[in-house]
Amino acid sequence: MPFGGVHPISSRLLLGDANEYLRGADETFDVCVASGILYHQKNPLDLLNLIDKISDTIFLWTHYYDPNTVVRSELFGEPRQATEGPLSGACYPRRYAEALDWKGFCGGSASDASWLSREDVLTALNTLGFSSIRVTQDNPNHPHGPSFAVLAMR
């Protein structure tokens, strides 16, 4: 066995619409890495529900909404209460504005996305049954808005 008895890691990277892929997925994974994707969703609770079905371990890095540290508040609209399966939370519409004119990739495929609060992300993971939730890299002063990384396991 290579690596001193540790099994080699098998991974696969896919490019495309994550939600569409997850809706039709009939396989499970040891870990789901969702880095820089949740805050680009129109319905982030839907993505968390979809991820829940494919893995018992999630690594998530995302921006989150915090009214006390939000960057460029004019980019955010009034929150709407969302419910998706067992999850609920406030979704804060975030307009891409001039980022849509960039020659590079601004992140989302629509003119806006919805951000969750830090607390609503953690509550959603807990509601989905992730009992070991570890927060790291919590950066409320990130230049593009507060962000954090979370490792959640059942």
Domain ranges of the chain: 29-153
- Assign a CATH topology to domain 29-153: Rossmann fold (3.40.50)
Q: How far apart (Å, rounded) are the C-alpha atoms in residues 40 and 150?
A: 17
pLDDT digits (tens, 9 = 90+) for 101-153: 545 555 555 667 999 999 999 999 999 999 999 999 999 999 889 999 999 99
C-beta pairs of 124-127 under 8 Å, 24+ apart in sequence: 124/45, 124/48, 124/87, 124/89, 125/48, 125/58, 125/60, 125/150, 125/152, 127/86, 127/87
**pTM, full prediction:** 0.85
Q: Side-chain half-sphere of 14: how many Cα atoms within 13 Å?
A: 11
